[in-house]
Amino acid sequence: MNFAGIFTEYGGIFFGSLGVALAVLMSGIGSAKGLGLVGEAAAGLIIEEPEKFGKSLILQLIPGTQGLYGFVIGLLAINQLSVSMALSQGVYIFVSCLPIAFVGWKSAIFQGRVAAAGITILAKNEEQTTKGIVFAVMVETYALLAFVISLILLTSLSF
C-alpha cells in the first residue's frame, strides 16, 4: 500500500488523535505556566505573611481551569475515535478541538499574569483581594467560550 492509501485509510484516526492531543497538551501547558506564574508570586508573599496562604491559593488555582477544559474536550473527542473512521471525521474532530487548544493555552498564561497581579493586591491591601480575583476571572470568559464552542462542535454532528 502506498502513502496515499495509508493516509486515506488511517488519516481519520491520525487527525482525530492529533486534535485530542492538542486540546489536552496546549491547554495543560498554558495552565501549568499560569499556575507557575502565580505560584512564584505567592511564594514570595507567603514567606513574609504565611497567614495569607488560603487567599493566595484561591488566586493560584484560577489558571488551572483551562487545563481541565482541554481535558474534558479531549475525553469527549477520544470517545469518538475509531481506527476505521473516515478522514473527514478525523479532520472534523481535529478542528473541533482547536478552539480550546489555542484559547485555553493563551488565556491560562494571561490569567496567570492577572492572578499574579492579584497576589500583589493581596500583599498590599488584603481587603481588596476579591477585586484581584474578579480581574483574573474575567480572563476565564474567553476560555469558557472556547470550551463551549469545542463542546458544541464535538456533540452536534454525528457521523
What are 107's three cell numbers? 488565556
Lowest-confidence segment of 2-6, 30-34, 91-95, 105-109 by average pLDDT: 2-6
First to last CA, the chain: 26
Encode burial over 47-79: b for 16+ CB neighbours within 10 A, e otherwise.
eeeeebeebbebbbebbbbbbebbbbbbebbbe
Report pLDDT digits (tens) over 10-64. 899 999 999 999 999 999 999 999 999 999 999 999 999 999 999 999 999 999 9
Least confident of 61-70, 95-104, 149-158: 149-158
Over residues 115-123, mean pLDDT: 96
Which residues have a Cβ under 8 Å from the Cβ of 101 and sit 6 or more positions away? 19, 22, 23, 25, 26, 27, 70
For the chain, list the domains and their CATH numbers. Answer: 8-154 (1.20.120.610)
Average pLDDT over residues 60-85: 96
Given pLDDT bands bounded at 50, 70 and 90, which one contains residue 6?
Answer: confident
* E strand intervals along the chain: none
pLDDT band for 9, please (50, 70, 90 cuts): confident
Task: Name residue, grid cell 482541554.
Answer: 70
Q: Report yes or no: 99 and 79 within 8 Å, Cβ to Cβ.
A: no
Confidence (pLDDT) at 159: 62
